Copies of this chain bind each other. A is one copy, B any other.
Amino acid sequence: MTDWRPVRRTRTFEDVLAQIERRIAEDGLTAGDRLPAERSLAEQLGVSRSSVREAMRVLETLGVVSSQVGRGPDAGAVLTSRPDTALTDLLRLHLGLASLELREVIDTRLMIERWAATRAATAGADTSGLAAALAGMDAARSAEEFVEHDTAFHCALADASGNRLISAIMRSLRDTMRRYSVEAVTRLGDTSVLRADHERILAAVQAGDAEEAATAVAEHLAHAYPSLS
């Protein structure tokens, strides 16, 4: 009974993962670089191709590689940087499992937007993306199209914070909420309130008024999702 350890023997594909991660770190690989082919990697590491493939699935799920079939410079496993798609999958599944609620997602979004608006206002960020999205909202002829440009506006705001992690979280939150946003806009009917909110946010950011920007964002979300305030 002594010397018992609750460890789980590391599976082969986990070992492969560790090796790949090590290689990424040691060789300083970044997005765009290619990984060896599956068969080659399997031979190098002395494991079966199945194990390499399972490791690839993990890396692909985490938005770190993208596999392309065929031949040539673009084929094979290429390192990418798609944290947002990974986060989107994560949120969707955990919402489905009821281990997360929509309320928490929207709450998180409010946190990020307030932060981003504050940052953008104080940093005097470039607001061309925001203005473009605003124009797109004017031209929208359906709830789906409106939400599309609305999303672009808010993602541009997150991008303006200059923090890629926060941008990625924001994008995935919006992707996750897309369906609910369309519902909310449809239910709302008149989108002029939302348009006015966006103009107010943009004006505050351009004026460098962080406090006003944060307040405007919070009120905007309250308008868009009145049931959750």
Report A's interface with B, CB cutoff 8 A.
Answer: 13, 21, 24-25, 28-31, 50, 53-54, 57-59, 61-64, 79, 81, 83, 86-87, 89-91, 93-94, 96-100, 104-105, 107-108, 111-112, 115, 163-166, 169
Contacts and interface: CB of A to CB of B under 8 A. Distances in A.
B58 A108 contact: no
B108 A163 contact: yes
Contacts of A91: 165
B99 A31 contact: yes
A89 B17 CA distance: 11
B50 A104 contact: no
A64 B93 contact: yes
Given A96-B24, A98-B30, A166 B111 contact: yes
Contacts of A54: 53-54, 57
Stoichiometry (number of copies): 2
A175 to B, nearest CB: 14
Query: Considering the complex of A and B, which 6 residue pairs feature the smallest CB-CB distances, nearest first?
Result: A81-B99, A61-B61, A57-B57, A111-B115, A104-B165, A58-B61
A97 B24 contact: yes
27 contacts: A13-B57, A24-B93, A25-B96, A29-B97, A50-B50, A53-B54, A54-B54, A54-B57, A57-B57, A58-B61, A59-B93, A61-B62, A79-B97, A81-B99, A83-B90, A87-B87, A100-B165, A104-B163, A104-B165, A104-B166, A107-B165, A107-B166, A108-B166, A111-B111, A111-B166, A115-B115, A169-B169
A112 B108 CA distance: 9
A93 B99 CA distance: 24
Contacts of A31: 97, 99
Contacts of A24: 93, 96-97
Nearest to A115: B111
A46 to B, nearest CB: 20
Contacts of A50: 50, 53
A112 B169 CA distance: 12
